[in-house]
Structure 1
Amino acid sequence: MRRSFSLFITLSVVLLFGVQCTFLEKHFGNTFKEDKYILDLAGIQKRGVIRAAVDNNSTGYYIYRGRRMGYEYELLRDFAKRLDVVLDVVLVSDIQDAFTKLENGSVDIIAINLEKTPDRMESVSFSIPLGKMNTVLVGLKENGKVTDWKDLEGDTIYVRENSAYAYQLLSLRDSLGLNFIVREDQRHEESLIDAVVEKEISWTMADQNVAKANTTYYDGLDISWVVQEAGEVSWVTRDNSPKLLETLNEWLEDKHKRFIPDLYAKYFLNPKNGYFRSNSPFSSIAGSKISQYDELIKNGAEYLGWDWRLLSSLVYKESRFDTSATSYAGARGLLQLMPVTLERFGVTNPNDPEQSLLGGVKYLGYLDKFWMSRVPDPNERLKFILASYNVGHGHVEDAWRLTLKYGKDTQSWEDVSEFLELKSDPEYYKDPIVKSGFAKGHLAVAYVKDVLSIFEAYKALVSA
């Protein structure tokens, strides 16, 4: 009897809640399901990271002599600073992919020059305009200059899929009663410009800024025919992030006075900048070198079992690849080793790049062995190594002991880093289990984030 009653109750609960939820979801939407990606401004600031989709082109985001550069990148970096968060740049080569990532929460903002179209406005929110942008036809000078739309009669114009270009061209074609063909292509604007140069296709369309950047290294391009005059372009956020949008608009209004015009001039009106961006082997656009010490760094990375771009990130963070760099505390060389560490690992001339790098690599190998048994996961251990390199392994070991004392996960950098940050608090650094005393642990935690952020950029923009 008791068993039958339990079965009746179970079935009743399943039927009641199962059927009720299905009925309510069907007729009123899923009001019980938590929005997994709803992070407005407060949530982003609590997370400490803003994720931004950036177009994979030659002006938005690239590496030059190890440094992260780009028009959109510098704008985003300034905006992240306003929010007091870390910037995480997500490169996209497909506009639809950017919208998908925004919708599913992989990014919080799309930092691409986008025009408002009726279908886009149904699902996202547009910022106030960053400015106005012409769109131009891109062809070869040898094919003759276009002076009238009738010159394109019977030709095919290839445009990037999911861009506003197809809509613009089709509207013009239909209003003028012309007969050119518009074909959408999955390739990026710059890939389509490459196809024009290689004579695979005759025509494509691009934002004037992108087209101008390409003329700095393709002399034969003609971009004189303007398809649409000065359309307004904006960035995009989710509809459910009104506070983020409000803050973005306030920031844009403030930066329109000087910062945005100055940055625009730097990237689009400065021929010297364009030349080095598109011709230097140390630019991720023109080559695959990060620094003149790549080969030395690759050898050191092989010794450690690291991706060479990770070791490059650490060298950039420490010295900006300057062999003569000396810190206020006396650290010297490419990997900024202190005198006692230089001596311990046999570095007699810290200004010699080979000696300096080898000494730093040996020290990193020592730190790897120090943490190996305590933190077996190599991805987690890397963060302990980087923090130890910055602040000293004694301070990180103190944080590890505090983590153990307070019952948290000693193999998790997230848990240990909390206690490393607390090492500036007397309640923690005066604890008897703490051997190395006071430390500005928050700086070491930020250091780890910064090195890994540089590494992500190198991975995205520089081939292995």
Structure 2
Amino acid sequence: MTPIIVICGVYSLIKKVAFWSGSLITVLLIILAITSALFYKESIGVVFNKNPNTVLNQITERQELRVGMLRSLTTLYVDYRNPNQVGGFEYTLLKKFADSLNLKLKITFANNLTELITKSKEGKIDFIAAEIKGYEDQLDSFMQSQPFHYSNQQLVYRIGSVKPYSLNEITGNLTVPTNSLQSYILKQSQNDYPELNWNESERLNQEELLKMVADEEIDYTIANNRTIAIMQRVYPSLTVAFEVSSNNPKTWYLPKSYDTSLLNKINSFIQKSLNDGSIKKLEYHYFNYMNKFDYVDTRAFIRAIETTLPKYQSFFEDNAQINELDWKLIAAMAYQESHWNPKAVSSTGVRGIMMLTKSTAESLNVINRLDAEQSIRGGTLYLKQIINRMPKSIPKEERVWFALAAYNMGIGHLWDARKLAVTQGKNPDSWQDIRQILPLLSEEEYYADLKYGFARGYQAVHFVDSIQQYYMSLVGYILEKEYRQKYIDEKSS
């Protein structure tokens, strides 16, 4: 019964009562009837205006956002900011979305897309954060969010083998995952390359196929440029032949059986994050260091991980734990400083595996700078002290970059760079902006008016960039080693 019908019925009742008697009781009955009708209308209105059965309301009541992702290095790795926790560009974006709804984020990792689609159909996840375009027969069952990121698909081969320049020059074994975006792209390319042949693997993902290329078990595969960049830091023999497809949009997938309440919320969040620069900042934070790759240097670093690092790893681990830092970050920093040479000496007088100045060493109670254990203890403590001095206005996840730059050139010059950033219309709390400002400290027109004067700010930028490169290689190497050992153990059991 609608509120209008109820009110009309009450009005009819009032007319009859009024006709029957003009007494005070009649007036009271009229007032009571009108009040009841208005209350009923308000109650009905609340029900009409708030549908408790929307997907978004169900998730809110559950207080947990469930997202399905593929288990891969591009979305899953140990993050230096949160030791032993997942991290990465897309995970961080998902976390920000969940936080915007005051929900706990629960990630369900899967080894393949089939598993994710099955979990979605079973209602075990709210949406899929992975590309399912290769499942053409399933796409009609899903709604897509608006794009929030773009990537390229590239053909990969091994350094030393013959480089193809287009798909019609593929003569060896080209393998891609079944029902993947790579498979979809190849099918779309068959009209232009009718003789193109390839294999599809139901078991292996793009990272595992990249390993097979590095191990010379297959000749080629196609993978996301971000995935390739990460894998190259573990397997430097991988190299790109050419770009197969560019500007592929990254979206999230929701079942069409849902109403659009969650989709609308996602799209609103993505648009806001694009407009305010949040996504661009995350892309810079997670992907900028991937733009440079040095095959010779990376190969030397991997060799050092295997032969030199084991001598000092316990020192890195113990001191990083004491100072609540990731030991892999400290190890990457030490490699940039000395290539893990405890006897290293520079022309400026800094010494040891962490390259401490004499005055800094004395302030940290480091008696012998050439003693690896003392140097690592002092260098780790010194970095922690600098991090603690960083202004709280700097985002927590970026303070370490500021601190590393200060470690390299002195904290006074960092304060100068922050002041100069303000005069240049930049954000002094953004590493992305400070990174652009630091090289100006070596130009007289800028440093002449600064408190601490001239500084080789470009060296500090290189210092931080290199540590990012080494850190990702070390993280990837350790994860790969653990993965391979687990595979060997499962195979032998």
2:54–2:261 Cα contact (<8 Å) kept: no
Q: Once the 2 structures are TM-superposed, how far is the Cα of residue 158 of structure 1 from its aligned partner? A: 0.8
Q: What is the alpha-carbon root mean square deviation over aligned residues?
A: 4.0
Structure 1 residues 295, 264: closer, same or farther in 2, change over 3 A? closer
State the distance in 2 between where 1:61 and 1:293 align: 26
2:285 equivalent in structure 1:
266
Q: Deviations over 1:393-442 (max 9, x none)?
A: xxxxxxxxxxxxxxxxxxxxxxxxxxxxxxxxxxxxxxxxxxxxxxxxxx
Contact 2:167–2:196 (CA under 8 A) maintained in structure 1: no
Paired with 2:212 and 2:54, the residues of 1 have a C-alpha distance of 40
Q: Helix, strand or coil: the match of 1:91?
A: strand
Whether 2:193 is the aligned partner of 1:176: answer yes
The Cα shift of 1:180 comes to: 2.6
In the TM superposition, what whole-angstrom CA distance separates every residue of 1:173-231 from its partner, at most 9, and x where no partner exists?
Answer: 34322243333342111011011111111111111111122122222212241111222
Deviation at 1:167, TM superposition (A): 2.5
Q: Is the 8 A contact 1:114 1:233 kept in 2?
A: no
Q: 1:88 to 1:177 in 2, by over 3 A?
A: same
- The residue number in structure 2 matching 1:77 is 95
- Aligned-partner Cα distance in 2 for 1:202–1:129: 32
Change in 2 beyond 3 A, CA 1:209/1:159: same
CA contact (8 A) 2:147 2:249 kept: yes
TM-aligned CA deviation for residue 293 of structure 1: 10
- Aligned to 1:69, the other structure's residue is in SS state coil
Q: Is the 8 A contact 1:156 1:183 kept in 2?
A: no
* Letter of the 1:194 counterpart: K
Residue 210 (1) aligns with residue 227 (2): yes
Q: Do the aligned partners of 2:134 and 2:183 also contact (CA within 8 Å) in 1? A: no
Q: Is the 8 A contact 2:67 2:127 kept in 1?
A: yes
Match of residue 397 from structure 1: none
Aligned to 2:67: 52
1:58 Cα deviation (Å)?
Answer: 1.0
Give the number of aligned pairs. Answer: 267
Candidates 108, 111, 115, aligned match of 1:97:
115
Q: TM-score, normalised by structure 1?
A: 0.50
**Distance in structure 2 (CA, Å) of the matches to 1:220 and 1:321:** 28
Cα distance in 2 between the residues matched to 1:177 and 1:274? 35
How many angstroms apart in 1 are the aligned matches of 2:146 and 2:91? 18
**1:166–1:184 CA contact under 8 A, matched in 2:** no
SS of the equivalent of 1:135 reads strand
1:52 counterpart SS class: strand
Amino acid at match of 1:57: S
Distance 1:180 1:260 in 2: 38
Task: Specify the code of the residue in structure 2 equivalent to 1:159.
Answer: V
Which string of whole-angstrom CA distances, capped at 9 and with x for unpartnered residues, describes residues 24-70 of structure 1?
xxxxxxxxxxxxxx971111111111111122111212223524321
How much has 1:123 moved relative to structure 2?
A: 0.8
Q: SS where residue 73 of structure 2 aligns?
A: coil
Give the partner amino acid of 1:169.
L
Q: Deviations over 1:208-267 (max 9, x none)?
A: 111122122222212241111222221111221421111001000011131111111222
Is the alpha carbon distance of 1:164 and 1:121 closer, same or farther for their aligned partners in structure 2, counting shifts above 3 Å? same
Alignment of 1:317-328 (within 5 A): none
Quick one: structure 1 residues 109 and 39, their matched pair in 2 at CA, closer, same or farther if it must change by over 3 Å? Answer: farther
Aligned CA distance change for structure 1 residues 229 and 271 (closer, same or farther; 3 Å): closer
Instruction: Write the letter of the residue equivalent to 1:246.
Output: N
Residue of structure 2 in register with 1:233 after alignment: 250
Instruction: Please give the per-residue CA displacement for 1:110-138, whole angstroms capped at 9, x wherever unaligned.
Output: 11245486433311111011232211111
1:70-108 CA distance string (max 9 Å, x none):
112101110000111001111111011111111112111
Matched position secondary structure for 1:125: strand
Larger Rg: 2
Quote how far apart the aligned CAs of 1:161 are: 1.8
Could you say if the C-alpha distance between residues 88 and 263 of structure 1 is closer, same or farther in structure 2, counting changes exceeding 3 Å? same
Aligned-partner residue type, residue 235 of structure 2:
Y
* Selected match of 1:41 from 35, 53, 56: 56
> Helix, strand or coil: the match of 1:230?
strand
- Return the alpha-carbon distance in structure 1 between the equivalents of residues 224 and 212 of structure 2: 16
Q: Give 1:15-414 correspondences, 5 Å limit.
A: 40-65=55-80, 66=83, 67-115=85-133, 118-153=136-171, 155-239=172-256, 240-257=258-275, 258-271=277-290
AA at the equivalent of 1:205 = I
- For the 8 Å contact 1:133–1:229, the answer to whether it is kept is yes
Q: 2:212·2:218 contact (CA, 8 Å) conserved in 1?
A: yes
Match of 2:489 in 1: none
